[in-house]
Amino acid sequence: MDWTDEGIVLSARKHGESSAIAQLLTKHRGRHAGLVRGGAGRKIRGVLQPGNQVTASWRARLAEHLGTLTVEPVRARAANLLSDWDRLAGLSAACAVAEVALPEREPHPGTYEGMLTLLDELERSDSWPLIYVRWEAGLLAELGFGLDLRSCARTGVETGLAYLSPRSGRAVSEAAAGEYRDRLLPLPAFLVANGRGAGHAVPATPEDLRDAITDGLALTGHFLERHVLGNRGGALPPARTRLVERFSRRTTISSDISVQ
Protein backbone atom coordinates (compact mmCIF):
# COMPACT_ATOMS: atom_id res chain seq x y z
CA MET A 1 0.00 0.00 0.00
CA ASP A 2 1.35 3.43 -0.86
CA TRP A 3 0.23 6.92 -1.81
CA THR A 4 1.59 10.43 -2.34
CA ASP A 5 -0.35 13.54 -1.33
CA GLU A 6 0.10 17.14 -0.28
CA GLY A 7 -0.27 17.88 3.40
CA ILE A 8 0.11 20.20 6.38
CA VAL A 9 2.15 19.08 9.38
CA LEU A 10 0.02 19.01 12.54
CA SER A 11 2.57 17.55 14.95
CA ALA A 12 5.66 15.35 15.22
CA ARG A 13 6.69 13.38 18.27
CA LYS A 14 10.01 11.65 18.77
CA HIS A 15 9.91 7.88 18.47
CA GLY A 16 12.92 5.82 19.43
CA GLU A 17 16.42 7.18 18.98
CA SER A 18 16.10 9.00 15.70
CA SER A 19 12.60 8.66 14.25
CA ALA A 20 9.37 10.62 14.73
CA ILE A 21 5.68 9.90 14.37
CA ALA A 22 4.16 12.70 12.33
CA GLN A 23 0.51 13.66 12.08
CA LEU A 24 -0.44 15.32 8.80
CA LEU A 25 -3.62 16.87 7.48
CA THR A 26 -3.60 15.68 3.89
CA LYS A 27 -5.72 16.95 1.03
CA HIS A 28 -7.22 13.65 -0.04
CA ARG A 29 -6.80 11.33 2.96
CA GLY A 30 -7.58 13.54 5.91
CA ARG A 31 -5.61 13.29 9.11
CA HIS A 32 -2.97 10.62 8.64
CA ALA A 33 -0.03 9.50 10.76
CA GLY A 34 3.17 7.76 9.81
CA LEU A 35 6.68 6.97 11.02
CA VAL A 36 9.32 9.33 9.63
CA ARG A 37 12.73 7.68 9.81
CA GLY A 38 15.33 10.24 10.83
CA GLY A 39 12.51 12.59 11.84
CA ALA A 40 14.24 13.50 15.10
CA GLY A 41 17.36 14.63 13.25
CA ARG A 42 18.13 18.29 12.66
CA LYS A 43 17.44 18.29 8.93
CA ILE A 44 14.02 16.65 8.92
CA ARG A 45 12.99 18.08 12.29
CA GLY A 46 12.85 21.51 10.69
CA VAL A 47 10.49 20.21 7.99
CA LEU A 48 8.17 18.64 10.58
CA GLN A 49 7.24 21.89 12.30
CA PRO A 50 3.47 22.39 12.74
CA GLY A 51 1.95 24.40 9.91
CA ASN A 52 4.59 23.55 7.32
CA GLN A 53 3.34 22.37 3.93
CA VAL A 54 4.89 19.19 2.58
CA THR A 55 4.61 16.58 -0.11
CA ALA A 56 4.21 13.27 1.70
CA SER A 57 4.60 9.69 0.53
CA TRP A 58 3.25 6.89 2.72
CA ARG A 59 3.99 3.18 2.46
CA ALA A 60 2.84 0.16 4.46
CA ARG A 61 2.35 -3.54 3.90
CA LEU A 62 -1.30 -3.34 5.01
CA ALA A 63 -3.68 -0.38 5.03
CA GLU A 64 -4.28 -0.61 8.78
CA HIS A 65 -0.56 -0.37 9.64
CA LEU A 66 1.04 2.85 10.87
CA GLY A 67 3.32 2.85 7.84
CA THR A 68 6.29 5.04 7.03
CA LEU A 69 6.24 8.57 5.70
CA THR A 70 8.79 10.46 3.68
CA VAL A 71 8.27 14.20 3.46
CA GLU A 72 9.59 16.92 1.18
CA PRO A 73 9.20 20.60 2.14
CA VAL A 74 6.90 22.77 0.03
CA ARG A 75 6.43 25.86 2.16
CA ALA A 76 7.88 26.62 5.60
CA ARG A 77 5.08 28.46 7.36
CA ALA A 78 6.19 28.24 10.99
CA ALA A 79 9.53 29.98 10.48
CA ASN A 80 7.78 33.06 9.07
CA LEU A 81 5.80 33.55 12.30
CA LEU A 82 8.54 33.13 14.90
CA SER A 83 8.74 36.87 15.57
CA ASP A 84 5.00 37.23 16.23
CA TRP A 85 3.83 35.29 19.27
CA ASP A 86 0.14 35.93 18.61
CA ARG A 87 0.25 34.52 15.09
CA LEU A 88 2.39 31.60 16.20
CA ALA A 89 -0.20 30.87 18.90
CA GLY A 90 -2.92 30.91 16.23
CA LEU A 91 -1.00 28.46 14.06
CA SER A 92 -0.32 26.14 17.00
CA ALA A 93 -3.97 26.23 18.06
CA ALA A 94 -5.28 25.41 14.58
CA CYS A 95 -2.92 22.46 14.18
CA ALA A 96 -3.76 21.12 17.64
CA VAL A 97 -7.52 21.46 17.14
CA ALA A 98 -7.35 19.72 13.75
CA GLU A 99 -5.39 16.86 15.28
CA VAL A 100 -7.85 16.18 18.12
CA ALA A 101 -11.06 16.92 16.21
CA LEU A 102 -10.62 15.18 12.87
CA PRO A 103 -11.18 11.42 12.59
CA GLU A 104 -8.12 9.56 11.36
CA ARG A 105 -7.93 8.78 7.63
CA GLU A 106 -11.27 10.40 6.82
CA PRO A 107 -11.06 12.93 3.96
CA HIS A 108 -12.15 16.48 4.80
CA PRO A 109 -11.05 18.60 1.84
CA GLY A 110 -13.02 21.63 3.04
CA THR A 111 -11.09 21.72 6.31
CA TYR A 112 -7.81 21.29 4.44
CA GLU A 113 -8.51 24.18 2.06
CA GLY A 114 -9.78 26.28 4.96
CA MET A 115 -6.55 25.71 6.85
CA LEU A 116 -4.50 26.80 3.83
CA THR A 117 -6.53 30.03 3.76
CA LEU A 118 -5.97 30.51 7.49
CA LEU A 119 -2.22 29.93 7.10
CA ASP A 120 -2.11 32.54 4.34
CA GLU A 121 -3.96 35.04 6.55
CA LEU A 122 -1.65 34.34 9.47
CA GLU A 123 1.31 35.36 7.32
CA ARG A 124 -0.09 38.45 5.63
CA SER A 125 -3.18 39.88 7.30
CA ASP A 126 -4.28 41.46 10.57
CA SER A 127 -7.66 39.80 9.97
CA TRP A 128 -6.38 36.37 10.93
CA PRO A 129 -8.18 36.14 14.33
CA LEU A 130 -11.56 36.49 12.61
CA ILE A 131 -10.54 33.97 9.96
CA TYR A 132 -9.45 31.59 12.71
CA VAL A 133 -12.91 31.68 14.32
CA ARG A 134 -14.52 31.12 10.93
CA TRP A 135 -12.20 28.19 10.33
CA GLU A 136 -13.34 26.52 13.55
CA ALA A 137 -16.97 27.16 12.57
CA GLY A 138 -16.22 25.56 9.20
CA LEU A 139 -14.60 22.58 10.94
CA LEU A 140 -17.80 22.07 12.94
CA ALA A 141 -19.83 22.15 9.73
CA GLU A 142 -17.45 19.71 8.02
CA LEU A 143 -17.94 17.27 10.90
CA GLY A 144 -21.73 17.54 10.73
CA PHE A 145 -22.29 20.04 13.54
CA GLY A 146 -22.70 23.27 11.59
CA LEU A 147 -24.14 26.31 13.35
CA ASP A 148 -27.53 27.46 12.03
CA LEU A 149 -27.09 31.20 11.51
CA ARG A 150 -29.72 31.65 8.80
CA SER A 151 -32.58 32.99 10.90
CA CYS A 152 -33.90 33.36 14.43
CA ALA A 153 -34.94 30.05 15.98
CA ARG A 154 -37.93 31.68 17.74
CA THR A 155 -39.28 34.13 15.17
CA GLY A 156 -37.73 33.22 11.83
CA VAL A 157 -36.41 36.74 11.18
CA GLU A 158 -33.10 37.01 9.36
CA THR A 159 -31.83 40.27 10.84
CA GLY A 160 -30.69 41.37 14.27
CA LEU A 161 -29.24 37.95 15.11
CA ALA A 162 -27.29 38.42 18.32
CA TYR A 163 -27.20 35.11 20.23
CA LEU A 164 -26.84 31.38 19.75
CA SER A 165 -28.55 28.58 21.63
CA PRO A 166 -25.86 26.57 23.45
CA ARG A 167 -27.91 23.40 22.94
CA SER A 168 -29.22 23.58 19.37
CA GLY A 169 -26.62 25.84 17.76
CA ARG A 170 -29.40 27.99 16.26
CA ALA A 171 -29.32 31.78 16.16
CA VAL A 172 -31.64 33.98 18.22
CA SER A 173 -32.37 37.63 17.52
CA GLU A 174 -31.83 40.39 20.03
CA ALA A 175 -35.56 41.07 20.16
CA ALA A 176 -36.48 37.41 20.76
CA ALA A 177 -33.86 36.66 23.43
CA GLY A 178 -35.94 38.13 26.24
CA GLU A 179 -35.53 36.51 29.64
CA TYR A 180 -33.30 33.79 28.17
CA ARG A 181 -30.56 36.25 27.16
CA ASP A 182 -28.24 35.26 30.01
CA ARG A 183 -28.45 31.58 29.00
CA LEU A 184 -27.48 32.20 25.39
CA LEU A 185 -24.05 32.56 23.77
CA PRO A 186 -23.20 35.96 22.27
CA LEU A 187 -23.06 35.71 18.47
CA PRO A 188 -20.40 37.96 16.90
CA ALA A 189 -21.74 39.86 13.89
CA PHE A 190 -18.87 38.78 11.64
CA LEU A 191 -20.08 35.18 11.85
CA VAL A 192 -23.66 35.83 10.77
CA ALA A 193 -24.45 33.95 7.55
CA ASN A 194 -24.48 35.82 4.25
CA GLY A 195 -23.82 39.17 5.86
CA ARG A 196 -27.37 39.54 7.24
CA GLY A 197 -27.66 42.41 9.64
CA ALA A 198 -24.10 43.30 10.62
CA GLY A 199 -22.89 40.23 8.72
CA HIS A 200 -19.28 40.71 7.73
CA ALA A 201 -18.85 44.08 9.41
CA VAL A 202 -15.84 44.52 11.65
CA PRO A 203 -16.56 45.95 15.13
CA ALA A 204 -16.06 49.70 15.21
CA THR A 205 -13.66 49.95 18.17
CA PRO A 206 -10.63 47.91 19.28
CA GLU A 207 -12.51 46.99 22.48
CA ASP A 208 -15.49 45.67 20.50
CA LEU A 209 -13.12 43.78 18.23
CA ARG A 210 -11.49 42.06 21.21
CA ASP A 211 -14.91 41.10 22.55
CA ALA A 212 -16.03 39.78 19.14
CA ILE A 213 -12.97 37.53 18.88
CA THR A 214 -13.23 36.21 22.43
CA ASP A 215 -17.00 35.63 22.00
CA GLY A 216 -16.32 33.81 18.73
CA LEU A 217 -13.69 31.57 20.33
CA ALA A 218 -16.01 30.84 23.25
CA LEU A 219 -18.82 29.93 20.86
CA THR A 220 -16.87 27.55 18.61
CA GLY A 221 -15.03 26.12 21.61
CA HIS A 222 -18.33 25.29 23.31
CA PHE A 223 -19.59 23.27 20.35
CA LEU A 224 -16.26 21.59 19.69
CA GLU A 225 -16.24 20.31 23.27
CA ARG A 226 -19.96 19.46 23.31
CA HIS A 227 -20.32 17.69 19.96
CA VAL A 228 -16.87 16.69 18.73
CA LEU A 229 -14.65 16.03 21.74
CA GLY A 230 -17.23 15.26 24.42
CA ASN A 231 -18.10 11.85 23.04
CA ARG A 232 -14.44 10.90 23.22
CA GLY A 233 -13.94 12.16 26.76
CA GLY A 234 -11.50 14.78 25.50
CA ALA A 235 -11.06 18.51 25.93
CA LEU A 236 -9.75 21.33 23.80
CA PRO A 237 -5.95 21.12 23.51
CA PRO A 238 -3.70 23.36 25.64
CA ALA A 239 -2.51 25.29 22.56
CA ARG A 240 -6.08 26.37 21.90
CA THR A 241 -6.58 27.37 25.55
CA ARG A 242 -3.43 29.50 25.39
CA LEU A 243 -4.76 31.31 22.31
CA VAL A 244 -7.97 32.20 24.16
CA GLU A 245 -5.96 33.43 27.13
CA ARG A 246 -3.84 35.69 24.93
CA PHE A 247 -6.91 37.48 23.60
CA SER A 248 -8.73 37.52 26.93
CA ARG A 249 -5.85 39.38 28.58
CA ARG A 250 -5.84 42.14 25.98
CA THR A 251 -7.24 45.57 26.75
CA THR A 252 -7.74 46.17 23.03
CA ILE A 253 -6.84 44.58 19.71
CA SER A 254 -5.50 46.42 16.68
CA SER A 255 -8.38 47.86 14.68
CA ASP A 256 -6.48 47.49 11.37
CA ILE A 257 -8.67 44.56 10.49
CA SER A 258 -11.01 44.03 7.58
CA VAL A 259 -13.03 41.04 6.47
CA GLN A 260 -13.60 40.45 2.79
CATH code for position 122: 1.20.1440.120
Q: CA–CA separation, 29 vs 104, rounded Å?
A: 9
- The H or E element containing residue 136 is helix 128-142
Residues 226 and 115 in one domain: yes
Q: Examine the domain organization and report whether 132 and 10 are in the same domain.
A: no
Number of domains in the chain: 2
**pLDDT tens, position by position, 152-196:** 999 999 999 999 999 999 999 999 999 999 999 999 989 985 444
Please tell me whether residues 140 and 237 are part of one structural domain.
yes
C-alpha 45, offset from chain centre: 23
What number of helices (H) and strands (E) belong to the chain? 7, 8
- What is the domain-level CATH number for residue 50? 2.40.50.140
> What are residue 107's phi and psi, to 5 degrees?
-60, 135
Query: Could you give the CA distance from residue 220 to residue 175 in angstroms, rounded to a whole number?
Result: 23
Closest CA to 201 of 130, 114, 136, 135: 130
Q: Using pLDDT thresholds of 50, 70 and 90, give the confidence band for residue 199.
A: very low
- pLDDT tens per residue across span 83-136: 999 999 999 999 999 999 999 999 999 999 999 999 999 999 888 999 999 999
Instruction: Sort 220 into a burial class: Cβ within 10 Å, 0-12 / 13-18 / 19+.
Output: buried
| Position 211 pLDDT exceeds 90 | no
Report the alpha-carbon distance of residue 166 to residue 223 in Å, rounded: 8
Residue 257: the pLDDT is 56
Regarding whether 62 and 103 lie in a shared domain, the answer is no
169 class by beta-carbon count within 10 Å (0-12 exposed, 13-18 middle, 19+ buried)? buried
CA distances to 16, 57, 76 from 23, rounded to whole Å, are 16, 13, 16
Whether 198 has a pLDDT exceeding 60, the answer reads: no
The CA distance from 104 to 170, in Å, is 29
The neighbouring-strand residues paired with 50 are none
Owning domain of residue 133: 98-248
